[in-house]
Amino acid sequence: MLARILGSGRIHGVSFWEKDFRETCSQETSKDGMTRVYKSLVTNVCKEMSCYSDFPFQEDYPNFMNHEKFWNYLQEFAEHFDLLKYIQFKTTVCSITKRPDFSETGQWDVVTETEGRQDRAVFDAVMVCTGHFLNPRLPLESFPGIHKFKGQILHSQEYKIPAGFQDKRVLVIGLGNTGGDIAVELSRTAAQVLLSTRTGTWVINRSSDGGYPLNMMVTRRHHNFIAQVLPSCILKWIQERHLNKRFDHANYGLNITKGKKPKKIVNDELPTCILCGTVTIKTSVKEFTETSAVFEDGTVEENIDVVIFTTGYTYSFPFFEEPLKTLCTKKIFLYKLVFPSNLEKTTLAMIGFISLTGSILAGTELQARWATRIFKGLCKIPPSQKLMAEAMKKEQLIERGLMKDPGADKIDYISYMDDLASFIGVKPNIPLLFIKDPRLAWEVFFGPCTPYQYRLMGPGKWDGARNAILTQWDRTLKPLKTRTIPGSFKPASMSHYLKAWGAPILLASFLLIYKSSIFLKLVPEKLQDRLSP
């Protein structure tokens, strides 16, 4: 995304896309190196939690959808806000360089190429939105003997459909969301699927108890508040106990290896496939022979036909000059994971280089809202000298092992969103809401933290935000109720609400009372200390 800031302060932008989005999703191959999705891919964040904050999904859309449905939503959004005229498709960005007077103007020279013809233009601001999933990571050097292996080797980027894998023995290396999806899908056609993991993982469903989307049940402000005040050891115990309630991960070979950081994947069918024997969980691969794989536990699997690496992606910025090219790959040098620390003028934003516990789409939207206000001079960030000094200090602490790399783990969704929202001035004021609009405040604090909450107040306020929050469950349940039975609807009883909300409210009240009691105890002591002389 590139932007020219007009005299009125309004941003006029143009977005360069290397291919038409529909073409990117629909093609079966990826010979040009573009990242594509496998045909069976389904979103793992439900629609109410992953929509744009002022444009809910249509109520008849499924809660979790395939990429074709998601594309339709993006198309509807672009048409609704008349954005297509600002997008220049089939255009490659060749270079983005500072202009000679950058320290004064903050402007950039941008060279693009469209159908073999190059153009050069000057822009006041640039947003890089290429994301995490750019270049396939294929760590063949970590697997001795792989070059002797006579079977087929491919990266998950090349996988589209299960055709061609019938009656084959397939080894999938890497247990993330993609590895789990591909293993489950191939288990229906392949002779056997082996799924290799170094660390293990927690497996969660898309639906929670009661059949509601899990994201809407767990991503809530009161849960976030409790998680911040509870000791981490107690919180970990509660989470692990809950995750093992559906099935014991140790019995399925999925428990987290000791010393490894815990991770989660979303997969509704993997435990059943393991139970039925169509997917076999294995440890990490020690080495390959011409036809087999030797694992770290000493076991050997013979007659492997295909190895699929689901080992993720790397990202790079070939259009930048040094040192900016290298610096932007280090998240610690990105202020709030958006702005490079070394620039005299804040006219470059890195959008979407985050791993959140919630929706990436909602996170990138809020990043973009903040960035545009920075570009227009409506918000400020600390000077580059201060940011660079802080980043370099953190880098030294990380190298010495005295500090964890903050970019290595997923970031808490609500905390990060609230952090950015406070800079913009759109963070919901919960106490004020409880005074002015108790019904809405209840939904905001105790209900799911949907993106609409960041349109209730401040710059970019949307008049439909309140109604969107109060009707979010209607849109959630609408696509489920395709068979209506007369007289089947029963309103929720008071006991239902007490069961659902009683424990969280009591715990939150106890914590607030506890904190207040400490405060009340300290105040007289401080007064006594001041009065005693």
**Strand 169-173 relative to strand 192-196, pairing:** parallel
Domain-by-domain residue ranges, the chain? 137-205+246-312
Coil/strand/helix, residue 420: helix
| pTM, 2 dp | 0.86
What would the CATH number be for the domain defined by 137-205+246-312?
3.50.50.60
Q: 348 - beta bridge partners?
A: 126
Phi, psi (deg, nearest 5) at residue 520: -65, -30
Show Cβ contacts of residue 137 under 8 Å, excluding neighbours closer than 6 positions.
155, 311, 312, 313, 314
* 366/276 Cα distance (integer angstroms): 43
Q: What is the pLDDT along the chain (533 residues), one digit of tens a residue?
A: 555 443 333 344 567 666 554 444 445 554 555 557 899 999 999 999 999 999 999 999 999 999 999 999 999 999 999 999 999 999 999 999 999 999 999 999 999 999 999 999 999 999 999 988 888 999 999 999 999 999 999 999 999 999 999 999 999 999 999 999 999 999 999 999 999 999 999 999 999 988 999 999 999 999 999 999 999 899 999 999 999 999 999 999 999 988 888 899 999 999 999 999 999 999 999 999 999 999 999 999 999 999 999 999 988 899 999 999 999 988 899 999 999 999 999 999 999 999 999 999 999 999 999 999 999 999 999 999 999 999 999 889 888 888 887 777 889 999 999 999 999 999 999 999 999 999 999 999 999 999 999 999 999 999 999 999 999 999 999 999 998 887 755 544 444 444 455 555 655 555 555 554 444 444 345 434 443 43
| HSE-CB of 363 using CA atoms within 13 angstroms | 25
* 388/135 Cα distance (integer angstroms): 28
Give which of 445, 395, 396 is closest to 418, Cα–Cα.
445
DSSP 237-278: HHHHHHHHHHS-TTTTT-SPPTTSPP-EEE-SSHHHHHHHTS
